[in-house]
Structure 1
């Protein structure tokens, strides 16, 4: 006799991956419920990609005004009103949350606005004590900022807090060298905050192409970020007006705010996962197979909580593949190869495929690269430089990686990623006629390699 369940699917987590899986499964006829203890939309919509990108847009205006003067425009005095921007920002997030919620309701998903934990492989318990049984459980609880314990920095912010500041600080120290730390350094500097950034490593944006990292760091410094590499906090003390920080490289300074941006961790604590038999990795991530299934056959997980690739579009694709596998009868593994990404620093960095260092370890490769002042910046008298770079496998001629540092690099890399994903060769790029005058035309006009490796 078949076991009867209250639901076909219970989704824990209302971020991009969980919402997409719940909605599509319900549209296909499944009986679905979703629990979210915070706001619908998750990290991306509420405290990540979306509000951050809107802040990026706001922070680029001073550069645009400066450039305008270089083109003959007479620009008057301008100032930034954070409360006005913040009010409009939160109104937009409310609107987007409403869209996510309406999509679930219209698909027939039952929403529970409270925390949910796993009671056993087929049972979920809500914070109010209500329990539901489900044939399948999908965990999509995402991640959260890692808060490093630094004596004297107890009042330090994490990235979530930036969007809720009542007023912008006059000065801030950002700890970290990843994309979150570097993006916020550029954003806040562009909005008029005096920004200092400490990173213990030799260069920011570890994992990205070295040449691209160097150019981004150079551009950040030109825009006013006091970037200090090989530097950590030696001592910290909360004083009147902020926090007095002593750097490991010497010297002390008081910063009105301190932002800890030293990574993120999966939201798995206290969820009953291990008690139910789900394997948890060393970093707290849920261990899954290529179909996003855990060691417990009825429990699946998608998105940042799995510690795979922490990008919203990846979580959405994982959620879709889960639905196709479990409810579509078509086992669909998730393709995590050649996923493009962008870092919204100033300048932006777009990347897909292997870096020069990564490719150099797998056989002979050729590096095609050019760095130059684009026409727009040069005419305005700005020092900005851009980078266009291709990593090419010598034998097959296949383009293994593409790396761009430039304005709108995120937009450019999305299109380049199509060619790289299709397995385009250097000759395919060469056969493509250039669009002139553009920065991106350099991707199809580089004839001679600048380096050969392996």
Structure 2
């Protein structure tokens, strides 16, 4: 397998989820592997994304849980919250996972190089130290970063990267954007006591998710006190004498806040990687163009994960890395199936979905049947909380094959993971109807919809 004329069989740029999986599995297949990572092993998900954010979501949810506990007979005193304790413990967990990822790579024989790397040719890489190495194959797994608008005063804003490192919970925060990152952090900061305002250039939140589900989240969020300003384009940020930030926007009056957070999308990390020197093509967003095998237009160079701008989800990057390693080094040609990839928004409450939305199904199939369960979870009833959950199942009008399942409610993501298997397998509504309900649960609504 190894080729003596190269220093490595595989050189990976970026040790995030996709790059780490590709490196580990390739090394297990017998390849000589090196991984260049200029920051920390683990990438966005582990260091500044999914993992620490989900821990903040758990921490924030205790605000509601502690209040609800009184209705369940618990004598809960007024509780204070310490942001530093939460973030300190989160950082400890991040450190633990970072070490675990590092150990996994080293155990499988992959060399970790803590330097920035850039391409100088189809098989050539130059490190920040000036060292040059060669590799039979090069895998670009450099991920993506938050997009920052170019409005005047943008330097006063933060992104999700910096949100974990704030000294305290802002008293007033404005979040620009309406995607999953914006709505997740809006829920976190609101539950922890901040006054939250979201602004968005369009009149919708969570574009791409089922309309009825996202409208329910908007309704619940507004009832809780979150503020939304739609059709609002950033015009500028000015710092006031007292340190406050005055934000100007189109179609709305200016607003003063203590923190501005940009959650306006993510940009592939392809700048200064030497792609031009190697002849690698990118699309209009700067993402590496790849085929079904994650191969770029240069035969020796591949790319996986967010840098390709296919589906920016950690499990997808991991599957792409696995498929690359098995195909190139494992003699097991594998391609990732992007059909029916489940997704979740860890808002308050959670949203989750898999497959087609109602509008997508109608456009493609014409005749569809939609089954809905709109209910108040048992826990919310006793807690005196009026929040309602909403589950939807979209089926083909002729065959009753399930085309999509979408839901909003407590633990929606946990429930959807199992249901996603059914959609992926091509089951029909009849299979759910024939399954006995697990009572009393919220999940039983999936098999009771009429």
Bucket of the pairwise TM-score, normalised by the shorter protein: over 0.9
Alpha-carbon distance between aligned partners in 1 of 2:31 and 2:236, rounded to the nearest angstrom: 56
Alpha-carbon distance between aligned partners in 1 of 2:99 and 2:155, rounded to the nearest angstrom: 34
1:438 maps to which of 406, 427, 441: 441
1:32-90 superposed Cα distances (whole Å, 9 cap, x missing partner)? 00000111100000000000000000000110011112223221011110111121111
**2:123/2:137 contact within 8 Å kept:** yes
Alpha-carbon distance between aligned partners in 1 of 2:295 and 2:50, rounded to the nearest angstrom: 27
2:349 maps to which of 347, 350, 353: 347
How many residue pairs end up in the alignment?
A: 446
Alignment of 1:75-224 (within 5 A): 75-224=76-225
Question: Residue 450 of structure 1 aligns with which residue?
Answer: none
**1:392/1:400 contact within 8 Å kept:** yes
Alignment of 1:186-265 (within 5 A): 186-239=187-240, 240-265=242-267
Question: Residue 431 of structure 2 aligns with which residue?
Answer: 428
What SS does the corresponding residue of 2:238 show, helix, strand or coil?
Answer: strand
Question: Residue 385 of structure 2 aligns with which residue?
Answer: 382
1:335 has 2:337 as partner: yes
Alpha-carbon distance between aligned partners in 1 of 2:233 and 2:283, rounded to the nearest angstrom: 28
Question: Residue 270 of structure 2 aligns with which residue?
Answer: 268
Alpha-carbon distance between aligned partners in 1 of 2:154 and 2:309, rounded to the nearest angstrom: 28
Question: Residue 45 of structure 1 aligns with which residue?
Answer: 46
Instruction: Return 133-142 or 63-72, whichever deviates more.
Output: 63-72
Instruction: Return 224-233 or 278-287, whichever deviates more.
Output: 224-233
What SS does the corresponding residue of 1:351 show, helix, strand or coil?
Answer: strand
Instruction: Return 300-309 or 214-223, whichever deviates more.
Output: 214-223
Question: Residue 397 of structure 1 aligns with which residue?
Answer: 400
What SS does the corresponding residue of 1:300 show, helix, strand or coil?
Answer: strand
1:139-176 superposed Cα distances (whole Å, 9 cap, x missing partner)? 00000000111113321001100011122211110000
1:72-127 superposed Cα distances (whole Å, 9 cap, x missing partner)? 32210111101111211111111110001111111111111010011100111101
Instruction: Return 396-405 or 273-282, whichever deviates more.
Output: 273-282
Question: Residue 309 of structure 1 aligns with which residue?
Answer: 311
What SS does the corresponding residue of 2:364 show, helix, strand or coil?
Answer: coil
Task: Give 1:245 deviation, angstroms.
Answer: 1.8
Structure 1 stretches of 5 or more lacking a match?
Answer: 448-454
Q: TM-score, normalised by structure 2?
A: 0.97
What SS does the corresponding residue of 1:85 show, helix, strand or coil?
Answer: helix
Alpha-carbon distance between aligned partners in 1 of 2:234 and 2:33, rounded to the nearest angstrom: 48
1:320 has 2:322 as partner: yes
Alpha-carbon distance between aligned partners in 2 of 1:131 and 1:247, rounded to the nearest angstrom: 48
Alpha-carbon distance between aligned partners in 2 of 1:72 and 1:81, rounded to the nearest angstrom: 25
Alpha-carbon distance between aligned partners in 1 of 2:225 and 2:408, rounded to the nearest angstrom: 18
Question: Residue 32 of structure 2 aligns with which residue?
Answer: 31
**1:216/1:347 contact within 8 Å kept:** yes
Alpha-carbon distance between aligned partners in 1 of 2:441 and 2:40, rounded to the nearest angstrom: 42
Instruction: Return 69-78 or 281-290, whichever deviates more.
Output: 69-78
Structure 2 stretches of 5 or more lacking a match?
Answer: none
Alpha-carbon distance between aligned partners in 2 of 1:79 and 1:370, rounded to the nearest angstrom: 37
1:306-337 superposed Cα distances (whole Å, 9 cap, x missing partner)? 01000000000000000111011222111111
**1:153/1:258 contact within 8 Å kept:** no
Task: Give 1:234 deviation, angstroms.
Answer: 4.4
Alpha-carbon distance between aligned partners in 2 of 1:334 and 1:213, rounded to the nearest angstrom: 28
Alpha-carbon distance between aligned partners in 2 of 1:381 and 1:200, rounded to the nearest angstrom: 35
2:296 maps to which of 294, 297, 322: 294
1:267-293 superposed Cα distances (whole Å, 9 cap, x missing partner)? 001111132121100111101000001
What SS does the corresponding residue of 2:390 show, helix, strand or coil?
Answer: strand
Task: Give 1:27 deviation, angstroms.
Answer: 1.5
Alpha-carbon distance between aligned partners in 2 of 1:124 and 1:274, rounded to the nearest angstrom: 13
What SS does the corresponding residue of 1:164 show, helix, strand or coil?
Answer: coil
CA RMSD of aligned residues (A): 1.2
